[in-house]
Amino acid sequence: MKTIGMIGGMSWESTLNYYKAINQGVKSALGGLHSAKICLYSVDFAEIETLQHEGLWHDTAIHLTTAAKAVEAGGADFLLICTNTMHKVADDIQAQISIPILHIADATAEVLLADGISKVGLLGTRFTMEQDFYKQRISDNYPIEVLVPSPHEQTLIHDVIYQELCLGTINPQSRQCYLGIIDKLYEQGAEAVILGCTEIALLVQQQHTHVPLYDTTQIHANKAVMLALAK
């Protein structure tokens, strides 16, 4: 079994789901008392969040590269950045380490493609929805069109993530707002919606909507298990 490297803590609530999903996946595949071999570096999210909102992405890359090097030194065979947003600096990190990064957008797009999805909505932080590092990577490399909510809706989604979900707060009213946005994307032609922030699945699950949802945390974890167990 290969050792899975993880940079977590962004936020630690969603990292919990990563850790659980990966270990459940290994147990399901191998049975018995098997669990995943993991090397986890958990950052202080307050430091990262401040740099994000100040636009100091180069500094975030420095922080996460330090974490990535520690994970590599700890014996990891490949790396997961356990957050969608910080894949903005994935190429910067990859340039400084020798183990491969399992990119969350690629893992998600491969599942969408396998399911025949050609037009998909994207929810995430404002950074993920506004900027091209995530949605453009999908549309450039896969025959998939990516739709995003309106600027006002993006602000609402972003604020709920940072002011509620990253603090472990689950607000039913916020869920209804998210579901309304998901319905609008569906009306615009989205065949499914990517939960493109690892916290969103804490608030919205498939049971809450008829629109197919793609949870990037679970998809990323599933792909990590496949790679770890590949011969």
Closest to 182 (Cα-Cα) out of 154, 220, 202, 211: 211
Catalytic annotation on 197? yes
Q: What is the DSSP letter of 55?
A: T
Helix 216-229 to helix 12-30 angle (10° resolution) is 40
Catalytic residue among 15, 197, 198, 217: 197
- What are the distances in angstroms from CA 149 to CA 9, 121, 178, 227? 27, 8, 10, 33
Catalytic annotation on 39? no
Catalytic residue among 60, 65, 83, 216: 83
Q: Which helix (H) or strand (E) holds 70?
A: helix 57-73
Q: What is the DSSP letter of 206?
A: G
> Known catalytic residues?
83, 197
